[in-house]
Homo-oligomer: A and B are copies of this chain.
Amino acid sequence: MSITPAVKTILDKYESDNPGVKANLARILMQGRLGGTGKLVILPVDQGFEHGPARSFAVNPPAYDPHYHFQLAVDAGLSAYAAPLGMIEAGADTFAGQIPTILKVNSSNSWATSKDQAVTAGVDDALRLGCSAIGFTIYPGSEHFFELVEEIKELRAEAASVGLATVIWSYPRGPGLSKEGELALDVGAYAAHMAALIGAHIIKVKLPTAHIEQSEAKKAYEGTDWSSQADRVKHVVKACFDARRIVVFSGGAAKGEDQVFQDARDILAGGGNGSIIGRNTFQRPRDEALAMLDRIVSIYKGEA
């Protein structure tokens, strides 16, 4: 596998990382139909943990089987598949070498009594399962944010020391943030910036709205127009070391196809690196999901 100039340009920005980490980033960036373009689409399946199995899979029962998701990611030509320990274990041998995997090492659930997550797997697990990266969620704004940061600080260092990349899901929430504020532009950019500061190789945030949450930040945003989603994406990407880090955006709950495609176009236009898209795919019948992913991939390839 020789890497493309587009991928080389991205890897060069990780100037302090070791060859092992870069090789794993390259595995993801060279994988699938977007391989070599510098764009990527990741399939994440941790909704069973976060929302429960029936809410996640009953609408499309074959999705109860962990193999279903590996196969979907492979068949759709995606860049990587991310899931918690049990889901990866149940297919890692069958699909070894077919698609890079990201081991989600912490998780919450519907009954959580605090804005925190439990660490459910470790770097040793990622290694023995042949994963390319670990995934970790932080909640900027939570009373548990410092603990989450100290956990990922340790896990990231251990992962990097054995050549694994780190993907951080940065989801703002907590007593200082309104519900609307969790998706605010200033908040999203701040959350992405903190993920970059603590050393994420790939940063995963939600597509932000035009709302500005923090009164102290209002001045910095004064006189600018944030009605364009592509501009908002660009702002978040700028907050990630002026585009020196890979940033992918999630689409949230299942929604109409048109909106999903428009999101992808905006991410592309704003300089984002791609999408991480779960419920919008595996909660549709497989054929529909493959068709939708085909279209998304085409958008990122500039063909749709």
- Interface residues in chain A, defined as those with a beta carbon under 8 Å from any beta carbon in chain B: 13-17, 48-49, 51-55, 58-59, 61, 64-66, 84-94, 107, 109-114, 116-122, 124-125, 128-129, 140-143, 145-147, 149-150, 153, 157, 172, 174-177, 186, 189-190, 193-194, 196-200, 214, 216-217, 219-221, 235, 238-239, 241-242, 244-245
Contact = CB atoms under 8 A, between A and B. Distances in A.
A49 B125 CA distance: 31
Given A118-B150, A141-B111, A85 B52 contact: no
8 contacts: A13-B90, A87-B241, A109-B194, A111-B174, A113-B143, A113-B175, A116-B146, A118-B147
A176 B111 CA distance: 6
B197 A49 contact: yes
Nearest to A83: B197
A111 B140 contact: yes
Contacts of A90: 13, 15-16, 241, 244
A217 B64 contact: no
A145 B113 CA distance: 9
The listed residue with most B CB atoms (<10 A of its CB), out of A89, A145, A149, is: A89
B146 A54 contact: no
Contacts of A217: 52, 54-55
Contact of A119 (B119, B150, B238): B150
Contact of A113 (B116, B176, B193): B176
A176 B52 CA distance: 14
Contacts of A142: 113
Given A15-B89, A59-B220, 8 more contacts: A48-B193, A49-B197, A54-B235, A55-B220, A64-B241, A85-B198, A90-B244, A120-B153
